[in-house]
C-alpha cells in the first residue's frame, strides 16, 4: 500500500520503530573514513593502456571506481536528477498509482528494499524501472512529470553505451578479448533504481540502504552532487564516496566477480542518511540475460584448478537474491564450488 512510502509524510520528528536497527548493526557514522576517496579513471585519456591498468587495479582492490570524461553529457545527468526529484515531489495520490511491493514487477514505486522479507526497514523510497529494450518498457513508465519518459530514455541510452565501453575495458584488463564480457552476458537487461532518501531525524539508528552487494554484472551510479551518503567497505572500514559532480560511480556486481573467477570484487556498500538534507541517486544496472550460464573462462581458472563458483544461470541467482535479506552473507558464497 502506498501509505508505506516515506515520501507520503512530509516531515518526521523521530523515526518509527520499524526503522531502528539493533545497537550492534548501526552505522557508527563517527567511525567512517571521510578523507580518502576511491580511484578515479579518466576515460577521455589518450593513453588506453593506462586506462586499462587503472581499471584492473580499481576492480581488484576496491571493486569501485569513479569515471570522468565518460561520454554521458553533464546536462543529461542534471536533467535525470531534476526529473527524479520532481517525481518524488509529486502529490501522494499521483505516486500511489505506481506503488507495488512485488519484486517481479517491471515498473514499480516501492519503499525500503523488500518489505515482505526484511525485519527492519530502510529509510528509502525507490522507483524501479526496466529499461531495455526501451520501446518495450517506456510506454509503461510514469508520464508525470511530462518530461520523465524523454529524459530518462536519453539517459538510459547514454549509460548503456558507457556500460559497454566499461565491459570492454574490463575484458581487456583481464587479458580477455575485448568483446568477451559483452558476449558472455548475452542480450543484457538494464534496470534502474531511482533512490530517494528523505531527511532522517535519527541517522545514527538506521540506513538509507543497508550494506549489500549488487547482484547484477555492472552498476553505474549517478550520485546527488550535493549530498554525500554512499559508503564502501574496504579492509573492514567504511569509506565515504564523496560526490564529484561530473563523475559517475562504477561498481562490479556479483556476476563479474564470478566471471572473473573472484579476481574482481563485488564489494559491500551502503547508503546512509542525514538530518539536514534529502538525497537522491540513480543506479543503472546491467544484468546478464536470464538464461545466461555464468562460468569463468578457462584462462582465469588455471590448469586443472576448480572455478571458485559453481556454474549457474543468472535466473537462478537472481531468484535466490530476492528471497534473502539484503545484508545476509554475500549471495555468491551460496554458489561456491
C-alpha cell at 253: 556486481
281 binds, among ligand OGA, Ni ion, none (CB under 5 to 8 A by kind): ligand OGA
Closer residue to Ni ion in complex, CB, 158/214: 214
248 binds, among Ni ion, ligand OGA, none (CB under 5 to 8 A by kind): none
230 binds, among Ni ion, ligand OGA, none (CB under 5 to 8 A by kind): ligand OGA
C-alpha cell at 248: 559517475
Q: Give the nearest distance from C-beta 219 to Ni ion in angstroms.
A: 6
Closer residue to ligand OGA in complex, CB, 162/230: 230
CB of 271 within 8 A of CB of 231? yes
158 binds, among ligand OGA, Ni ion, none (CB under 5 to 8 A by kind): none
| Integer CA distances (angstroms), 46 to 50, 52, 74, 102, in order | 9, 12, 21, 46
Nearest alpha carbon to residue 30 among 204, 267, 199, 231: 204
195 binds, among ligand OGA, Ni ion, none (CB under 5 to 8 A by kind): ligand OGA
Closer residue to Ni ion in complex, CB, 176/283: 283
Closer residue to ligand OGA in complex, CB, 169/230: 230
Query: Residue 133: what are its φ and ψ, rounded to 5°?
Result: -75, 145
Query: Residue 70: what are its φ and ψ, rounded to 5°?
Result: -95, 0
Q: Give the nearest distance from C-beta 285 to Ni ion in angstroms.
A: 8
Q: Give the nearest distance from C-beta 176 to ligand OGA in angstroms.
A: 26
Q: Give the nearest distance from C-beta 63 to Ni ion in angstroms.
A: 11
Q: Give the nearest distance from C-beta 271 to Ni ion in angstroms.
A: 8
Chain contacts with ligand OGA (rule: CB under 6 A): 193, 195, 209, 214, 221, 229-230, 269, 271, 281, 283
d(CA 32, CA 95): 35
Closer residue to ligand OGA in complex, CB, 209/286: 209
Q: Give the nearest distance from C-beta 214 to Ni ion in angstroms.
A: 4
Burial label for 1, CB within 10 Å (0-12, 13-18, 19+), is: exposed
Cis peptide, bond prior to residue 145, ω within 30 of zero: yes
Closer residue to ligand OGA in complex, CB, 111/261: 111
Total residue length of the chain: 337
How far, rounded to the nearest angstrom, does the alpha carbon of residue 31 sit from its chain's CA centroid? Answer: 24
Q: Give the nearest distance from C-beta 279 to ligand OGA in angstroms.
A: 8
| Integer CA distances (angstroms), 139 to 7, 50, 89, 107, 143, in order | 25, 42, 22, 11, 9
Chain contacts with Ni ion (rule: CB under 5 A): 214
Closer residue to ligand OGA in complex, CB, 51/230: 230
d(CA 20, CA 205): 5
Q: Give the nearest distance from C-beta 321 to Ni ion in angstroms.
A: 12
CB of 273 within 8 A of CB of 207? yes
Q: Please identify the residue of the shown chain whose CB is closest to the bound ligand OGA.
A: 281
Query: Residue 176: what are its φ and ψ, rounded to 5°?
Result: -105, 170
Closer residue to Ni ion in complex, CB, 154/242: 242
State the DSSP string of 18-57.
Answer: GGPPPGGGS--GGGSB-S----EEETT-S-HHHHHHHHHH
d(CA 98, CA 121): 20
Amino acid at each position: 500500500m502506498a501509505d508505506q512510502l516515506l515520501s507520503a509524510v512530509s516531515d518526521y520528528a523521530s523515526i518509527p520503530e520499524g526503522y531502528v536497527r539493533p545497537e550492534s548493526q548501526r552505522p557508527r557514522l563517527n567511525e567512517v573514513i571521510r578523507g580518502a576517496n576511491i580511484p578515479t579513471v579518466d576515460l577521455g585519456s589518450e593513453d588506453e593502456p593506462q586506462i586499462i591498468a587503472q581499471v584492473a587495479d580499481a576492480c581488484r582492490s576496491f571493486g569501485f571506481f569513479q569515471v570522468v570524461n565518460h561520454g554521458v553529457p553533464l546536462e543529461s545527468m542534471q536533467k535525470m536528477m531534476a526529473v527524479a526529484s520532481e517525481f518524488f515531489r509529486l502529490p501522494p495520490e499521483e505516486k500511489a498509482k505506481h506503488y507495488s511491493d512485488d519484486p517481479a514487477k517491471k515498473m514499480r514505486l516501492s519503499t525500503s528494499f523488500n518489505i515482505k522479507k526484511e525485519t527492519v526497514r530502510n529509510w528509502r523510497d525507490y522507483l524501479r524501472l526496466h529499461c531495455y529494450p526501451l520501446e518495450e518498457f517506456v510506454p509503461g513508465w510514469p508520464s508525470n512529470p511530462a518530461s520523465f519518459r524523454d529524459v530518462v530514455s536519453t539517459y538510459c541510452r547514454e549509460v548503456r553505451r558507457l556500460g559497454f565501453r566499461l565491459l570492454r575495458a574490463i575484458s581487456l584488463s583481464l587479458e580477455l578479448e575485448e568483446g568477451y564480457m559483452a558476449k558472455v552476458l548475452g542480450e543484457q537487461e538494464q534496470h534502474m533504481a531511482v533512490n530517494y532518501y528523505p531527511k532522517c531525524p535519527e541517522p545514527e539508528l538506521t540506513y538509507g540502504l543497508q550494506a549489500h552487494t549488487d547482484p547484477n554484472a555492472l552498476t553505474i551510479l549517478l550520485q546527488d552532487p550535493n549530498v554525500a551518503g554512499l559508503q564502501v567497505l574496504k579492509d573492514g572500514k567504511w569509506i565515504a564516496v564523496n560526490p564529484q559532480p561530473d563523475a559517475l560511480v562504477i561498481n562490479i556486481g556479483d556476476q563479474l566477480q564470478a566471471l572473473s573467477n573472484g579476481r574482481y570484487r563485488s564489494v559491500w556498500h551502503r547508503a546512509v542518511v542525514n538530518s539536514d538534507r534529502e538525497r537522491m541517486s540513480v543506479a543503472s544496472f546491467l544484468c546478464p540475460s536470464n538464461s545466461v550460464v555464468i562460468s569463468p573462462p578457462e584462462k582465469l581458472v588455471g590448469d586443472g584448478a576448480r572455478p571458485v563458483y559453481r556454474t549457474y544461470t543468472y535466473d537462478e541467482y537472481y531468484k535466490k537474491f530476492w528471497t534473502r535479506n539484503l545484508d545476509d552473507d554475500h549471495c555468491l558464497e551460496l554458489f561456491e564450488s
